[in-house]
Amino acid sequence: MAQTKVIVGLGSCGIAAGAGKVYEELQRIKVADNLDFELKKTSCIGMCFKEPLVEIIDETGSYLYGEVDSKKADEIIEKHIVNFTPVKEYIVKSDTTETKFDHYFEGQVKIALRNCGYIDPENIDEYEARGGYQAIKKIANERIGVQEVIKSILDSGLRGRGGGGFPTGLKWKFANNNRSKEKYIICNADEGDPGAFMDRSVLEGDPHSVLEGMIIGAYAIGASDGVIYCRAEYPLAIKRLNIAIAQARDKGYLGKDILGIEGFDFDLYIKEGAGAFVCGEETALIASVEGERGMPRKRPPFPAVSGLWRKPTNINNVETYANIPWIISNGAKEYAKYGTEKSKGTKVFALTGKIKNGGLVEVPMGITIKDIIYKLGGGIIDDKKFKAVQLGGPSGGCIPEYLSHTIVDYDSVNATGAIMGSGGMVVMDETTCMVDIARFFLEFTCKESCGKCTFCRVGTKRMLEILTRITEGDGREGDIEKLEELAYQIKDGSLCGLGQTAPNPVLTTIKYFRDEYEAHIRDKKCPALNCKKLLTYEIIEDKCTGCMVCKRGCPTKAISGEKKMPHFIDQELCIKCGDCYSKCKFDSIKIF
Amino acid sequence: MRVTRINKKDSAPKAESKVDLKLIEPLIKKYKNKKGNLIPLLQGTQNLFGYIPPEAMLLLSRETGLKISDMYGVATFYAQFRLNPVGKHIVKICHGTACHVQNAKAVTEDLQNFLEVKDGGTTPDNIFTLETVACLGCCSLAPVMMIGEETYGKLNGKKAVEVIKEIKRKETLNQKKSLTENISKN
Ligand SMILES: Cc1cc2nc3c(=O)[nH]c(=O)nc-3n(C[C@H](O)[C@H](O)[C@H](O)COP(=O)(O)O)c2cc1C
Ligand code: SF4
Ligand code: SF4
Ligand code: FES
Ligand code: FES
């Protein structure tokens, strides 16, 4: 009889939700009660909305428990391990019974995330046990040539998952074509989109898949050195990568004449980023690795010709690399089975915002946005009205509800004015103000502009000023037109993708939510009731009990009224701080 | 551009901090004459002192031959580097998209009001430095803040202030304890 396993999800977000304490508690009772089970660690399985997660695998099947705290952990162990009765009400996923959340995994196809949440990322044996390092072994044993590897990747139709969507096989071909004794391969793990965590989850949950992808890439282009450029904000990812690199060296997957392939020497190291969004751009990233300010360079020459230290360099995203071993092991055809004509395979999304089941999902290309939000995501929090979804972060745009039948593929998403991006999918409901969202992204890009191009540096600032003014009630006729004019000038006058795409959030919100801009500018009203300065607070006479709570709290003494009599707000004095609204126990204050 | 981050003299803590430059020596040994060493040198220095003291920059330049102007250029380019000493606890409030949509602004405002500092500022008692950051990677718990290694999720202004108050209470307790210990020692 196999020993029962108890596995705790210890990704960053699991730890943030308290999984570390749950693990300690499990360890404590295991020892204290002398229980016979194996306590193990894993990482993000994607059900972030149910963290902390604990899985129990016994001879009857697997049971994933959600929202486990120390107390629940005791209960689960007592009932499940000691008395052999699973605690049904806490189970969120199981291969033996149905749960409320099964639809979250139906429709997902896990290729890049194939091991995330299933293995201990700090244990190379577990990666190998699930077919890990089989792809590079296959290349070595079957003497698969460089050109054949490149052809496989080309045939698979895999396109870069870092946002640009450039065919990976083609990139490798270019880098391979350039003759040089020194060549580099870089993994872009800068993940700059604020509100997205696909790459973090892959690095924390399955670092070896990225290493294996890079090793295969190095073989294909002929690189002997590699760099993983990782955000410094991801300490756990860096720690696990370091462990993985050391293990891979021990086992001979890194080093000299790897797996007996004569002359194939390859090793890599991690370079920590220093906090600049623009360093996700490939030429800026290279400048940063070289120890300089992360300022983009003119392309061409492309990195494939002249990259790191002016040598041919191939740069791909984390998720792109994670797909590679699977494609080599299972064949290009198998991968190309998923997806649409021009967008093959799967894409990982970080589903966040006003969504019930927020987490990490991997879906085949071609699924509609609506299906992701309603079938997988379970719909909008509190069943509010779904308004829009933001794709592609600061470079992307908002897709409105009425276009939610749009399918996920590069061309269809581009047609809406948004971009596929790296996988951030932020869901917004009726309480999200679209002008404010545009302002939020512009504030970000304005701060992150490297300053090289005037239009990007100054133009984003001017746009931000106009947007701020609009959200504060000082919008003027003609502002929308001015924003559009600036947007096109910035797009044309910027060197790198940051400037070229920075206006997208503004342009798409103007395109789909022009009425909201107009309400702010003409009527001085925020329809989503989000922009504070545009709100009016009023006391509903019939509901007011005259309890005086609001009157006492008001910082400007704008509220008048006698005890037990309806109160009244003087609009001239009100500074719209919202204190009265949050304090009133009788819901007698309305906002409009 | 982060021009606002330069010359933040007003938010620098009053107390003079002593910098032990000897600590940098191993760092210099490790990175001297390596290509692309500027950023790791600055990162190492900041790890030692919590910020990059001017004297450290001078020493690094003297020992490695890197130009001070290059160092200053790099230090002001990247958000990670600080040129001023920081408080004992760095409070990082996430302003990524997911947290923004879930009203992170309200959390920041309440914390700013409670601590009476602006973004990037340090409290006069040198206990807290407030920073807004983009995405801590726990978007499903939004809005989120991080203090040291500890992450706090599903916040609102009130909850965040409670957390700060608790840390403050412990700090004053510690201070009192060490004070009485000192007195009894003497
Ligand atoms: C401003 C800007 C930021 C970027 N940030 C990232 C990033 O965080 N991660 C990433 O993989 N690619 C990012 N990219 C795209 C990279 O320049 C590059 O296209 C990508 O890493 C190539 O890998 P892929 O072909 O596998 O997608 C960014 C591009 C721009 C213009
Ligand atoms: S477009 Fe903006 S970020 Fe890109 S190089 Fe120009 S100034 Fe720098
Ligand atoms: S919103 Fe603030 S200022 Fe206005 S009436 Fe209420 S408490 Fe007073
Ligand atoms: S399930 Fe934990 S981070 Fe996603
Ligand atoms: S947006 Fe705040 S944790 Fe990601």
One DSSP character per residue, A44-60 reads --S-GGG-S-EEEEETT
Report the alpha-carbon distance of residue A224 to residue A218 in Å, rounded: 7
Point out the ligand nearest to the CA of residue B104: 5
The answer to whether B32 and B63 are in contact (CB under 8 A) is yes
The answer to whether B164 and B110 are in contact (CB under 8 A) is no
Instruction: Mark out the alpha helices in A522-584 (DSSP H runs).
Output: 549-553, 579-583
Q: What per-residue string of b and e applies to A133-165 under the rule 16 or more CB within 10 Å gives b?
A: bbbbbebeeeebeeeebbbbbbbbbbbbbbbbb
The answer to whether A44 and A14 are in contact (CB under 8 A) is yes
**Furthest C-alpha separation in chain A:** 91
* Tokens (6 digits) for A580: 């009265």
For chain B, counts of helices (H) and of strands (E)? 7, 4
Would the pLDDT of B13 be above 60? no
Q: What is the pLDDT of residue A299?
A: 92
| Look-up of token digits 């470079």 | A395
- Asked if residue B26 has a cis previous peptide bond (ω within 30° of 0), the answer is no
Pocket probe for ligand 4: among A41, A51, A105, A362, the residue whose CB has the most ligand atoms within 8 Å is A51
| Look-up of token digits 């590897």 | A149
Q: What percent of chain A has pLDDT over 90?
A: 91
Pocket probe for ligand 3: among A580, A583, A591, the residue whose CB has the most ligand atoms within 8 Å is A580
CA closest to A449 among chain B residues: B1
Sequence-separated (6 or more) residues with CB below 8 Å from residue A1: A59
Q: Is A342 helix (H, G, I), strand (E, B) or coil?
A: coil
Report the alpha-carbon distance of residue A574 to residue A562 in Å, rounded: 18
Residue count of chain A, please give it: 592
Backbone angles phi, psi at A417, to 5 degrees: 100, -15
C-alpha radius of gyration, chain B, whole number: 19
Starting at the edge strand found earlier in the chain, the sheet holding A5-9 runs A38-42, A5-9, A54-58, A61-65, A91-94
**Per-residue CA distances from B13 to A360, B81, B87, B129 (Å):** 42, 17, 8, 10
Closest CA relative to residue A183, chosen from A320, A317, A287, A315 = A315
Closest CA relative to residue A240, chosen from A210, A267, A272, A203 = A203
Report the alpha-carbon distance of residue A499 to residue A278 in Å, rounded: 10
Strands A54-58 and A61-65 come out as antiparallel
For chain A, which residues score pLDDT lower than 70?
Answer: 1
The answer to whether A410 and A165 are in contact (CB under 8 A) is yes
What's the pLDDT tens digit per position in B97-133? 999 999 999 899 999 999 999 888 899 988 999 999 8
Contact A353 B101 (CB under 8 A): yes
The answer to whether A10 and A44 are in contact (CB under 8 A) is no
Q: What is the pLDDT of residue B17?
A: 57
Q: What per-residue string of b and e applies to A235-248 under the rule 16 or more CB within 10 Å gives b?
A: ebbbebbebbbebb
Return the residue whose CA atom lies nearest to atom 4 of ligand 2: A496
Closest CA relative to residue A362, chosen from A517, A515, A202 = A202
Q: What is the pLDDT of residue B95?
A: 92
Q: Is A338 helix (H, G, I), strand (E, B) or coil?
A: coil
Closest CA relative to residue A342, chosen from A174, A158, A111 = A158
Q: Determine whether A170 is exposed, middle or buried from the number of CB atoms within 10 Å of its CB (0-12, 13-18, 19+).
A: middle
Torsion of CA A346, A215, A131, A341, to 10 degrees: 20
Point out the residue among A12, A275, A277 whose CB comes nearest to the CB of B137. A12
Amino acid at A579: D
Report the alpha-carbon distance of residue A248 to residue A366 in Å, rounded: 36
The answer to whether A218 and A324 are in contact (CB under 8 A) is no
What's the pLDDT tens digit per position in A136-191? 999 999 999 999 999 999 999 999 999 989 999 999 999 999 999 999 999 999 99
Sequence-separated (6 or more) residues with CB below 8 Å from residue A105: A93
Residue to substitute from A12, A288, A293, A381, interface B, most B β-carbons within 10 A: A293
Closest CA relative to residue A425, chosen from A506, A349, A501, A359 = A349
Distance of CA A79 to the CA centre of its chain: 36
Tell me how far the alpha carbon of residue A51 lies from the centroid of ligand 4, in angstroms.
7
CA distance A44 to chain B (A): 11
Return the residue whose CA atom lies nearest to atom 24 of ligand 1: A160
The sign of the dihedral angle between the CA atoms of A156, A162, A164, A168 is negative
Amino acid at A169: G
Amino acid at A477: E
Q: What is the DSSP code string of A125-188? A: HHHHHTTTTHHHHHHHHTT--HHHHHHHHHHHT-B-TTTT--BHHHHHHHHHHS--S--EEEEE
What's the pLDDT tens digit per position in A472-489? 999 999 999 999 999 999
Instruction: Mark out the alpha helices in A251-376 (DSSP H runs).
Output: 282-289, 318-330, 332-336, 369-371
Q: Which atom of ligand 4 is nearest to the CA of A360?
A: 4
Amino acid at A585: K
Q: Is B37 helix (H, G, I), strand (E, B) or coil?
A: coil
A428 chain-B contacts, CB cut-off 8 A: 101
Tell me how far the alpha carbon of residue A282 lies from the centroid of ligand 1, in angstroms.
6
Provide the β-strand partners of residue A425: A351, A391
Pocket probe for ligand 2: among A278, A486, A490, the residue whose CB has the most ligand atoms within 8 Å is A278
Q: What angle do CA A286, A262, A182 make, to 5 degrees?
A: 25
Q: What is the pLDDT of residue A13?
A: 85
Point out the ligand nearest to the CA of residue B153: 5
- Asked if residue B40 has a cis previous peptide bond (ω within 30° of 0), the answer is no
Q: What is the DSSP letter of A376?
A: I
CA distance B39 to chain A (A): 5
* Tokens (6 digits) for A442: 């512009």
Point out the ligand nearest to the CA of residue A214: 1
Would the pLDDT of B3 be above 80? no
Contact B77 A449 (CB under 8 A): no
Report the alpha-carbon distance of residue A375 to residue A365 in Å, rounded: 15
Q: Determine whether A515 is exposed, middle or buried from the number of CB atoms within 10 Å of its CB (0-12, 13-18, 19+).
A: exposed
Closest CA relative to residue A492, chosen from A466, A455, A458, A457 = A455
| Look-up of token digits 């995405």 | B135
Tell me how far the alpha carbon of residue A284 lies from the centroid of ligand 2, in angstroms.
10
- What's the pTM value of the predicted model, to 2 decimals? 0.92
